[in-house]
Amino acid sequence: MHDHHEGDSSDSRLVVAVLVNVLLTIVQVVGGVVSGSLSLVADALHNLSDAGALIVALVARRIARRPPDRLRTFGYRRAEVIGALINLTTLVIVGIYLIYEAVARYFDPQPIDGWIVVWVAGGALVVDTVTAVLTFTLSRNNLNIRAAFVHNVSDALASVAVIVAGSLTILFGWSWADVVATLLISAYVLVQGVSMMRGVVRILMEGVPPDLSIEEVASALASLEGVAGVHHVHVWQFDEEHRAMEAHLVVPGGASDFVPIKQAARTLLEERFRISHTTLELELPSEEGACVRGC
């Protein structure tokens, strides 16, 4: 019951964070259109993507609580990964579009009301800080929400860039500062989106976790007492936190040694490599396909 209530409380924080970001996006879009500031619109779209990321985190948390069934025997953990891929793809598209708009605005400058830009961006900075506070506690134990928290921090930095651009427009009439701020925000969005997408694609393609080496895992298993060789080693991720592995271990001693060797192997994989789901097949050297130590 405690976990259930704690989950409901966490979900409530995420709902509040989503609503705050959506309202902020609306205000920033209106402010950007009225003031003529493209950087303010860019920051608004970045905020909207963050609201989407928070929604994905919220929905994924609920879906992840569903138990495995006969159609999803591993459960529903990857719903969060698929949602992240959708969000990141949208983020990259938005970044490319904003760069296009910034270049077009450079060749066709528009008048900008610097004061509206500064006031709206200042409000956005306050809201981004509040949202970061709402997600900070949850982010310590959840990688997905931690990514959302980092997004909110980056939003705060983007708001600072917009404030600087608006201030330069007020003080010196440098309307081009708005274009520069837009390009900086867009570049950051693209770098962030592409870099995070690589990790998402790795999970969906069932790639080896980036901090693991197949050779190191196989060597560690081969070093166990009673293991003569290791082959057919496969390691992948269900999601950001859960890892799985299957392998064949060659055990010369026979069936009597199977149980303690399996226990030792699973303990090793859990403690050293954080692999919690393992499928180990133990075989005799005489079996077809068996290999020697280190293969």
Edge-to-edge strand ranges of the sheet holding 243-250: 229-237, 243-250, 277-283
pLDDT tier, 254 (very low <50, low <70, confident <90, very high otherwise):
low
Mean pLDDT of 156-163: 75
3 state DSSP class of 230: strand
Buried-state track 74-112, b at ≥16 Cβ within 10 A, e below 16: ebbbbbbbebbbebbebbbebbeebbebbeebbeeeeeb
What is the rounded distance in angstroms from the CA atom of residue 18 to the CA atom of residue 12? 10
Percent of the chain with pLDDT over 70: 82
Long-range contacts, 42-45 (Cβ 8 Å, 24+): 42/98, 42/102, 42/158, 42/181, 42/182, 42/185, 42/186, 43/121, 43/124, 43/155, 43/158, 43/159, 43/161, 43/162, 43/185, 45/94, 45/98
Q: Which of 2-11, 27-36, 89-98 has the lowest mean pLDDT?
A: 2-11
Mean pLDDT of 197-223: 89
Q: Break the chain into its structural domains and give their ranges.
A: 2-204, 214-283
Q: Where are the beta strands (DSSP E) in the chain?
A: 229-237, 243-250, 277-283
pLDDT tier, 143 (very low <50, low <70, confident <90, very high otherwise):
low
How does the average pLDDT of the chain come out, rounded? 78
Looking at residue 295, what is its pLDDT?
44
Q: Is the pLDDT of residue 80 over 80?
A: no
**Distance linking the first and last C-alpha atoms of the chain:** 49
Q: What are the DSSP calls for 75-142, one per residue?
A: -STTHHHHHHHHHHHHHHHHHHHHHHHHHHHHHS-----HHHHHHHHHHHHHHHHHHHHHHHHHHTT-
Same fold for the domain at 2-204 and the one at 214-283?
A: no
**Interacting residues of 49 by C-beta distance below 8 A, sequence separation 6+:** 87, 90, 91, 94, 151, 189
CA-based Rg of the chain, rounded to a whole angstrom? 25
The whole-model pTM stands at: 0.70
CATH hierarchy code of domain 2-204: 1.20.1510.10
**Interacting residues of 40 by C-beta distance below 8 A, sequence separation 6+:** 28, 31, 32, 117, 120, 121, 162
**Yes or no: domain 214-283 corresponds to CATH 3.30.70.1350:** yes
DSSP 239: S
| Residue found by looking up tokens 């698929």 in the block | 82
1 touches 59 (CB < 8 A): no
| Residue found by looking up tokens 């901090």 in the block | 211
| Residue found by looking up tokens 């949850």 in the block | 138
Find the helix packing angle between 38-64 and 114-139, rounded to 10°.
Answer: 20
**Interacting residues of 121 by C-beta distance below 8 A, sequence separation 6+:** 28, 40, 43, 159, 162, 163, 166
| Residue found by looking up tokens 């920033």 in the block | 28
pLDDT tens-digit map of 283-293: 877 654 545 44
Q: Is the pLDDT of residue 265 over 80?
A: yes
117 touches 169 (CB < 8 A): yes
| Residue found by looking up tokens 């309307």 in the block | 175
Q: Is the pLDDT of residue 3 over 60?
A: no
CA distances to 44, 144, 173 from 166, rounded to whole Å, are 15, 33, 9
Find the helix packing angle between 79-107 and 176-204, rounded to 10°.
Answer: 160
Looking at residue 273, what is its pLDDT?
92
pLDDT tens-digit map of 7-57: 555 677 778 777 877 887 888 788 778 877 776 777 777 677 777 777 877
Mean pLDDT of 254-278: 86
